[in-house]
Amino acid sequence: MPAYKTPFGLIGCPLGHSISPQIHTALGNPDYSLYPLEPEEIKDFLADTRILGLNVTIPYKRTVIPFCASLDPAAEAIGSVNTLVRQPDGAWKGYNTDAFGLRQMMRAAGLSFAGQDVLVLGNGGVSQTVQAVAGQDGAASVTVLSRSGAHSYADLPQFYPISTLIVNATPVGMYPNAGEMLADPAKFSRLRGVAELIYNPARTALMQRARSCGIPCAGGLTMLVAQAKAAAELFSGRRIADDMIAQIGSKMQQDAENIVLIGMPGSGKTVIGEALGVLTGRRVIDTDAEIVKAAGKPIPEIFAESGEAEFRRLETEAVRRAGAERGIILVTGGGVVTRAENAEPLRSNGKIYQICRPTAELSRDGRPLSQGADLEQMAAARMPLYRALADCEIENNRTPQDAAAAVWSDFCAYSRAEWAEFESAGTP
């Protein structure tokens, strides 16, 4: 059992990449720690009266209910507890703040359960909350798919013409298994929205697929921050302004999201990435440098000995490793867009910037495919791929520092704008 650290915290398993301590610190409570627990450790841990308040995550949202002397009416109705508060007599009272967080997430994305045929993936503790809130908020129907139960994942095809809203209440697609999804939004003929409760990565494969089909999505970070705000109020007994959700969420998003640079070989991505590292204090990862490190030889030698296909394989491996990082500057090689499988890991945690420079000004030094190549022809083939992948284009027509400043300015404004939409959505 983990040693006592602070009177407040989060229990669950696993917890390695949770950002809950940072959120609660921003909410005014620095005495908050992660307590990863095995099932057999829960009883003794909850008996420690030094622990005053806990959040509960996968897989214990129903497990903790028998240890509560009382339940808040909402938690009792839902059958899932994600917040525990020590009462004056030493007993635990269970609450559900996930319902508040879920409603804020839906509202911020312009989604609603009202009138929808809802398909819930998973039947764990957070699924209980989704089912209850969907019913309370007027869903036309709610169907749950799970590994066992009335409907299994094998039954998915029968819901392709029926479901209008999908909610993923499973860990499928969560880091470190990013790239996985249980259902393909493209196969649903009436789908109007996707709600993803995962927040790491920021854009799961499910979300990316939905967006490629023009289907609105809600991401899990809003729910995480909103439910934490409601839990912090229960821990402290004081009201916290609703606008703290957007304030904290935008900072968390900005700190966690990668800045990804793509563009033609020789367009200046490396020097702009270095300038961004100096400007922001972020770590810079260059996929070409990572390939050299993994292969133990320079890139021209890889091409000479093994050909482009082997280089592209190594590049995809480097992209997947780097794409799983958070809060970095990621500099890619010019040909990264030539393999479609690179798009998902680059998008999962990153905003993607295309660095643009006139073809005549592109450097050829140290670039095997640029040596003697017709760069105009290469640009004609690759430019549609860059534009399809990029979120924003940045002209490299002054100094690297100028281009870096333009990237950073756009990145900060974009983070604020996403949460400004949440603020304008309001809270009930």
Residue 294 lies in a domain: yes
Please count the other Cβ atoms lying within 10 Å of the Cβ belonging to residue 49: 9
| Residues 315 and 400 reside in one and the same domain | yes
Instruction: Give the pLDDT score at 140.
Output: 98
Domain boundary among 53, 73, 96: 96
Residue 402 lies in a domain: yes
Q: How far apart are CA 220 and CA 195, in angstroms?
A: 8
**By the 8 A CB rule, do 272 and 410 touch?**
no
Residue 424 lies in a domain: no
Residue 248 lies in a domain: no
Residue 229 lies in a domain: no
Residue 132 lies in a domain: yes
**By the 8 A CB rule, do 202 and 351 touch?**
no
Tokens of 400: 């690297």
| Residues 212 and 287 reside in one and the same domain | no
| Residues 78 and 123 reside in one and the same domain | no
Instruction: Give the pLDDT score at 311.
Output: 94
pTM of the model: 0.89
Nearest CA to 349 out of 213, 215, 102, 174 is that of: 174
Q: Catalytic one among 61, 229, 269, 351?
A: 61
Q: How far apart are CA 1 and CA 17, in angstroms?
A: 19
| Residues 308 and 370 reside in one and the same domain | yes
| Residues 90 and 116 reside in one and the same domain | no
Instruction: Give the pLDDT score at 230.
Output: 98
Q: How far apart are CA 315 and CA 292, in angstroms?
A: 10
| Residues 28 and 173 reside in one and the same domain | no
| Residues 282 and 382 reside in one and the same domain | yes
Domain extent, residue 314, equals 255-416
Q: How far apart are CA 323 and CA 180, in angstroms?
A: 15
| Residues 265 and 136 reside in one and the same domain | no
| Residues 277 and 401 reside in one and the same domain | yes
Domain count within the chain:
3
Tens of pLDDT along the chain (428 residues) come to 889 999 999 999 989 889 999 999 999 999 999 999 999 999 999 999 999 999 999 899 999 999 999 999 999 999 999 999 999 999 999 999 999 999 999 999 999 999 999 999 999 889 999 999 999 999 999 999 998 878 999 999 999 999 999 999 999 999 888 889 999 999 999 999 999 999 999 999 999 999 999 999 999 999 999 999 999 999 999 999 998 999 999 999 999 999 999 999 999 999 999 999 999 999 999 999 999 999 999 998 999 999 999 999 999 999 999 999 999 999 999 999 999 999 999 999 999 999 999 988 887 665 666 666 778 899 999 999 999 999 999 999 999 999 999 999 999 998 888 787 555 544 44
Domain boundary among 223, 246, 270: 223
Strand order in the sheet with 392-395: 284-286, 329-331, 258-262, 350-356, 392-395
Instruction: Give the pLDDT score at 372.
Output: 62
Q: How far apart are CA 185 and CA 160, in angstroms?
A: 9
Instruction: Give the pLDDT score at 370.
Output: 62
Tokens of 37: 């627990």
Q: Is 293 a catalytic residue?
A: no
Domain CATH number, residue 74: 3.40.50.10860
| Residues 70 and 193 reside in one and the same domain | no
Residue 234 lies in a domain: no
Residue 156 lies in a domain: yes
Query: What is the residue type of 320?
Result: R
| Residues 409 and 262 reside in one and the same domain | yes
| Residues 118 and 76 reside in one and the same domain | no
Domain boundary among 39, 71, 96: 96
Domain CATH number, residue 155: 3.40.50.720
